[in-house]
Structure 1
């Protein structure tokens, strides 16, 4: 079973973030440029929240606010669920399903070292299942590989 640390080593440790005083417009623009659905919110390097497309839709658009006049701290989620490099992909899927979240920051101590999305986890699970199927097919066929 693969760990989050191993997954980050293969996908990369890129972290896209916003500051609490950034405008929501700036945050959404960065999400678009990087092709991600959420950003870590960092204050002096410390993880203080998350901002996602869902936060934008629910707390800006539906409330009739302006993304250029609203700050990240006004709409970010401050209850941040996170994971550690030693946790398994399966453990993360359980947390994400139970908490109905799509992104998990990865912390090593207090340091943010990466981010995993539900898409990252699903890709890994599918690859692992494909490998298992291939192994079983070889076993059934009597291959000695």
Structure 2
């Protein structure tokens, strides 16, 4: 089965955009819009993950609470209790975690350092690739 290290390696777009907790929400949302991403990892100056900010966080904690993006900091609305995985985690384990916790993005962290970010789409693609390979192997086995 494919693991997270392989998923990261196969990603066409491997850049992980980050923002500091003291940045404004407007800065974060502007960067997300510019890069066409749905979430941004919040990191301290030393590179440690402090949280994650998603479009969902913005909608629920800015728009619905009538806050202003230009004077609210990322740390005020980010999800601080971030679930992370390591490179050794399997696609199956990540998909189960994301399904159970209703997540769309998982930071990949080892030794307190951010290595990458995987999305539900990355994992679904990897799972489908695994299934196609298994089907091919079974067909070859059956046909001798």
Q: TM-score scaled by structure 1?
A: 0.90
Select 2:93's aligned residue among 91, 96, 102: 91
- Partner residue, 2:4: 4
Counterpart in the other structure of 2:123:
121
Give aligned pairs, total.
Answer: 142
- The CA RMSD over aligned residues, in Å, is 1.4
Quote the residue 2:134 is aligned against. Answer: 132
State the 1:20 CA deviation: 0.8
Over residues 84-107 of structure 1, what are the superposed CA-to-partner deviations in whole Å (9 max), with x where a residue is unaligned? 001101111111111111111101
**Structure 2: tracts of 5 or more residues without a match:** none
Could you give the per-residue CA deviations for residues 55-92 of structure 1, whole angstroms, max 9, x where no partner exists? 00000011111212211011001101000001101111
Residues 16-65 of structure 1, C-alpha deviations (whole Å, 9 max, x = no match): 11111111111111112222211110111111111000000000011111
Counterpart Cα distance in 2 of 1:103 and 1:8: 13
Partners of 1:34 and 1:126 in 2: CA distance? 26
Q: Which runs of 5+ in 1 are unaligned?
A: none
**Residue in 2 that maps onto 1:41:** 42
Compute the displacement of 1:136 (Å).
Answer: 3.0
TM-score by length of 2: 0.91
